[in-house]
Amino acid sequence: MRIGVLALTAGGRQLAAQLAPGLGAEIVPVDRGIAAALAEAWPRYEGLVCIMAAGIVVRAIAPLLEDKERDPAVVVVDERGRHAVSLLSGHLGGGNELAHRVAASSGGRAVITTASDVLALVPLDLWAAAQHLVAADRRTMTRASALLVNRGELAVYSETAVAGLPPGLTLVAQPETAELVISCRTAWPEPTLLMHPRQLVVGIGCNRGTPAEELATALAELLSTEGLAPAAIRNLATIDLKRDEPGLLAMAEQNGWPLEFYNAEQLNGQMANITPPSPAVLKATGAGGVAEPAALLSSGAPQLMIRKRKWKNVTLALAKASFTLSAPDPEMAAT
């Protein structure tokens, strides 16, 4: 986390000089005023420690706020270092953790106001991120967290393996009795709250020069037909001859999907588990198939979830990688 420290008074500047080395932080000058300094620092830092009154900070950052998934963490500290208040982006942004670090360095106390922490419940957004779970929409995390803190429990149905769940999350055997469902699939009745595990591996074969739009259209059609969520995709996989395929690289980058490559010998090692070899593909690539064996190799699955589907210039296959939910480590639970 890149951290900036801002201070207004002589005492604040003294504390800033004390805190910065331990935090690995930079001192941000405030010569042009705190509002201008924060506006300039906002996109540059992931965490901001403001040694000044909370009211000053609130007024200065109000026009800068965009989204809790993008805004930096903001911690407000009095110039004696007695209180480090996690003001903004406490969970996903790391504000609560930063407040604890500041307090440890100043000899003060971290002030945390997020409900899950106050009630000693797991921060649901942090747990989901650590588990590689993606909320189906922006409201899901807010609603699920509200249910958890208001009632102290949340009924969970999971289509993935479960080794353990945090306190307050209760595993149920039937989706009809769940408030939160964890699944790669999209079709669930309202008002089910839905999170997708990142476990789908897409094997891809394509003709040279296939544009990203054509690849994306084929993939969207496959997922829609099968009722699967794009958010559940973990990565793409293909033959190493496609390392320089512009459309494939562009689609992977646009969606933040890692792209794994395998050579013909590796792909041919999966021949017993795939559709009979394609003579055309074998002649062009040296491999009896690309989409199916690449999906199997990358996922580690013993069999395919969806065998290859063909479009004009694209072939796709899907496999499901193993995925196990677990309870958070003690450090997260204590955050």
d(CA 47, CA 4): 6
The pLDDT of residue 333 is 44
193 and 271 both lie in a single domain? no
The pair of structure tokens assigned to 304 is 């395919």
> Is position 96 within any domain?
yes
156 and 258 both lie in a single domain? no
| Secondary structure element (H or E) that encloses residue 126, with its range | helix 124-130
Matching residue, tokens 């390392």: 243
> Is position 262 within any domain?
yes
The answer to whether the CB of 309 falls within 8 A of the CB of 316 is: yes
> Is position 159 within any domain?
yes
218 and 185 both lie in a single domain? no
The pLDDT of residue 282 is 86
> Is position 332 within any domain?
no
Last residue of a domain, one of 53, 88, 113: 113
Domain total of the chain = 3
DSSP, collapsed to helix, strand or coil, labels residue 49 as: strand
154 and 102 both lie in a single domain? no
The pLDDT of residue 123 is 78
The pLDDT of residue 329 is 56
205 and 148 both lie in a single domain? no
Q: 91: closest CA among 119, 67, 121, 125? A: 125
313 and 229 both lie in a single domain? yes
Q: Is 232 exposed, middle or buried (0-12, 13-18, 19+ CB in 10 A)?
A: buried
d(CA 201, CA 317): 8
204 and 316 both lie in a single domain? yes
d(CA 78, CA 108): 10
> Is position 335 within any domain?
no
Q: Which ranges of 172-300 does DSSP label H, i.e. alpha helix?
A: 212-226, 246-255, 264-268, 279-285, 291-299
| CATH number of the domain bearing residue 235 | 3.30.420.180
DSSP code, position 201: E
193 and 86 both lie in a single domain? no
Matching residue, tokens 């000058």: 29
236 and 191 both lie in a single domain? no
> Is position 254 within any domain?
yes
Last residue of a domain, one of 88, 113, 138: 113
| CATH number of the domain bearing residue 128 | 3.40.1390
Last residue of a domain, one of 145, 174, 197: 197
Model confidence, pTM: 0.72
| Sheet with 26-27, side-by-side order of all strands | 26-27, 3-7, 47-51, 73-77, 83-88, 109-111
Buried b / exposed e along 91-117 (16+ C-beta atoms within 10 A): bbbbbbbbbbbbbebbebebbbebebb
Average pLDDT across each block of 10 residues of the chain; the chain has 335 residues. List them in order: 94 95 95 94 95 94 87 94 88 84 92 64 81 88 82 90 91 92 90 92 96 97 97 97 97 97 95 81 88 96 95 97 82 46
Owning domain of residue 69: 3-113
